[in-house]
């Protein structure tokens, strides 16, 4: 049986790129809080994951959610998408999914006697790629190319994707069967990777109490318009990053490259995305400047999936993730925040 390759939701209007002026910090903070509250009404006890997801969304990055099945990966992606008044499409990745299912295909129109382009699932503001590691590498790379380029080229014609454009992909842990691990070059395209983790006891109990309805998502109303989202994204671009914080981010990334237990450190793209994510995170927190703590907070999510341990270091660990977590913690603990650009008053 073949799952439905695309289920593009067309009931939402596709928002296109338009330059909008940024909101002020307080407004942006308020909207962010609204979105988070909305998403949390269907996902209990996952504040940090929700916040990070929103951060990535506002930073115009793509998010990879990785965890065992049943912890709410897809729920998070959907809830976030629904909270925004924007177009959402969902792709269920399977081994037989074709690249054209993702990007779209030219079909011959008998009536009009010409080829016409049938847009694929990526033509939406929020694209949910479910179980992305079940698809063949070929299909994976088709999506990832879209993510990087922001456009699709079919039969020599280039089609621009929507803006904002965010892919929220979910995947099962790579150790599991029937999966094709994402190559590191492609993982690098995701701004951040998060794990949901199991809910704690209280959260799980309250989930049982609240989830009488089988489809809680159906009740979820959008709280932000696409244009407001655009303006929030513009605000993110205005968040101030002091030279000290920039230097701090660079130090951390350089440390990953020099770390003896790492085969592959963070790329310059990682540096860029870390700082961009930190700006967005600062705005979500209601600040118009970035703190080193924002960098620390996001380092795991932004760097975790990009670092590769040496096989020697891995020898002592069975779990790459834990090793990487320890390494990042160690780097954060030892990296000194550079002195500020001003002193005294």
Judged by the rule CB under 8 A, the positions of this chain that interact with other proteins are 1, 3, 68-70, 94-96, 134, 172-173, 176-178, 198, 240, 242, 244-245, 287-293, 296, 316-319, 322-323, 326, 330, 332-337, 340-345
Cα separations (Å) of 142 from 113, 136, 146? 28, 10, 7
- Residues 6 or more apart whose CB falls under 8 angstroms from that of 333 comprise none
Give start and end residues of each alpha helix (H) in 225-335: 226-238, 243-258, 268-284, 292-303, 311-315, 320-334
Q: Alpha-carbon distance 170 to 172, whole Å?
A: 7
Q: How far is the CB of 68 from other proteins (least distance, A)?
A: 6
Phi then psi for 65, rounded to 5 degrees?
-110, 120
Cα separations (Å) of 275 from 126, 269, 336? 22, 10, 17
Decide if 268 contacts 262 (C-beta within 8 A): no
Q: How far is the CB of 219 from other proteins (least distance, A)?
A: 27
- Residue closer to other proteins by CB (options 1, 111) is 1
Q: How far is the CB of 221 from other proteins (least distance, A)?
A: 32
- Residue closer to other proteins by CB (options 93, 123) is 93
Q: Alpha-carbon distance 86 to 337, whole Å?
A: 39
Q: How far is the CB of 290 from other proteins (least distance, A)?
A: 6
- Residue closer to other proteins by CB (options 183, 330) is 330
- Residue closer to other proteins by CB (options 118, 287) is 287
Give start and end residues of each alpha helix (H) in 41-167: 47-58, 73-83, 99-103, 137-149
Q: How far is the CB of 283 from other proteins (least distance, A)?
A: 13
- Residue closer to other proteins by CB (options 159, 198) is 198
Q: How far is the CB of 22 from other proteins (least distance, A)?
A: 15
Of 185, 6, 37, nearest in space to 104 by CA:
6
CA atoms within 13 A on the CB side of 59: 28
* DSSP letters for 102-148: HHEEEEEETTTTEEEEEE-TT-SSEEEEETGGGS-HHHHHHHHHHHH
Q: How far is the CB of 330 from other proteins (least distance, A)?
A: 7
- Residue closer to other proteins by CB (options 161, 323) is 323
Q: How far is the CB of 165 from other proteins (least distance, A)?
A: 28
- Residue closer to other proteins by CB (options 156, 344) is 344
- Residue 78 tokens read as 């959907």
Q: Alpha-carbon distance 51 to 39, whole Å?
A: 10
Q: How far is the CB of 178 from other proteins (least distance, A)?
A: 5
**Mode of pairing for the β-strands spanning 104-109 and 114-119:** antiparallel
- Residue closer to other proteins by CB (options 254, 287) is 287
- Residue closer to other proteins by CB (options 178, 183) is 178
Decide if 118 contacts 104 (C-beta within 8 A): yes
Q: Alpha-carbon distance 143 to 132, whole Å?
A: 10
């Amino acid at each position: 049986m073949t799952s439905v390759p695309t289920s593009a939701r067309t009931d939402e209007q596709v928002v296109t790129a338009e330059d909008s002026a940024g909101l002020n910090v307080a407004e942006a903070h308020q909207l962010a809080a609204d979105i988070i509250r909305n998403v949390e009404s269907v996902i209990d006890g996952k504040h940090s994951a929700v916040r990070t997801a929103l951060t990535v969304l506002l930073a115009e990055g793509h998010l990879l959610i990785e965890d065992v099945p049943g912890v709410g990966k897809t729920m998070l992606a959907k809830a976030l998408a629904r909270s925004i008044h924007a177009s959402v499409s969902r792709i269920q990745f399977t081994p037989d999914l074709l690249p054209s299912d993702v990007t779209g295909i030219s079909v011959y129109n008998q009536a009009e006697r010409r080829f016409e382009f049938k847009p694929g699932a990526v033509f939406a503001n929020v694209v949910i790629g479910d179980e992305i590691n079940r698809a063949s590498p070929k299909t994976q790379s088709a999506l990832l190319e879209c993510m990087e380029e922001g456009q699709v080229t079919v039969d020599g014609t280039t089609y621009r994707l929507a803006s904002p454009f965010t892919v929220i992909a979910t995947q099962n842990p790579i150790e599991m069967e029937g999966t094709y691990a994402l190559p590191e070059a492609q993982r690098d395209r995701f701004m951040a990777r998060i794990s949901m983790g199991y809910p704690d006891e209280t959260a799980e109990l309250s989930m049982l109490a609240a989830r009488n309805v089988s489809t809680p998502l159906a009740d979820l109303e959008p709280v932000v318009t696409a244009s407001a989202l655009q303006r929030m994204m513009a605000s993110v671009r205005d968040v101030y990053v002091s030279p000290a914080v920039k230097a701090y981010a660079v130090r951390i990334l350089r440390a990953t490259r020099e770390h003896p237990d790492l085969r592959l450190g963070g790329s310059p793209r990682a540096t860029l995305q870390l700082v961009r994510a930190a700006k967005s995170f600062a705005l979500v927190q209601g600040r118009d400047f970035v703190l080193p703590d924002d960098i620390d907070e996001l380092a795991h999510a932004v760097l975790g999936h990009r670092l590769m341990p040496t096989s020697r270091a891995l020898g002592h660990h069975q779990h790459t993730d834990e090793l990487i977590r320890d390494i990042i913690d160690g780097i954060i603990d030892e990296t000194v925040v550079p002195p500020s650009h001003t002193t005294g008053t």
